[in-house]
Amino acid sequence: MIAQEASTGDVLMFAWMNREALARTVELGRAVYWSRSRGKLWFKGEESGHVQTVHDIRMDCDNDVLLLKVTQQGHDPSIACHTGRHSCFFQRLEAGAWQAVEPVLKDPQSIYK
């Protein structure tokens, strides 16, 4: 599943969903994912306050990837990544090495208490 910011088109993150997570997302109108590491539903923003309000849900042509168009809540500018950045896709390959190209907007230690 890919989360995309509805207003800008920025790709925010990739996460897993199962049927229950999708059903809860539709029911609540906010993103709910499946945490593989914790083996349970992950309500985006339950610890950080960085909730994703869902506006549109689409499926790709192979019926195996979902796209959620969301509004990222909880901080201005918005933070979707657990590293305190706007997007989880903050690294760019430059001259054969990965470089962080987006700033940390908030220290992750102050987000997750």
Summarize pLDDT for 61-86 with one digit per residue, the tens: 999 999 999 999 988 889 999 999 99
Residues making up the chain, counted from first to last = 113
pTM of the model: 0.91
49-67 residue pLDDT tens: 999 999 999 999 999 999 9
Burial 14-29 (b: 16+ CB within 10 A, else e): ebebeeebbebbeeee
On the question of a cis peptide bond just before residue 103, with omega within 30 degrees of 0, the verdict is no
Query: 2-111 adopts what CATH topology?
Result: Ubiquitin-like (UB roll) (3.10.20)
Domain regions of the chain by residue span: 2-111
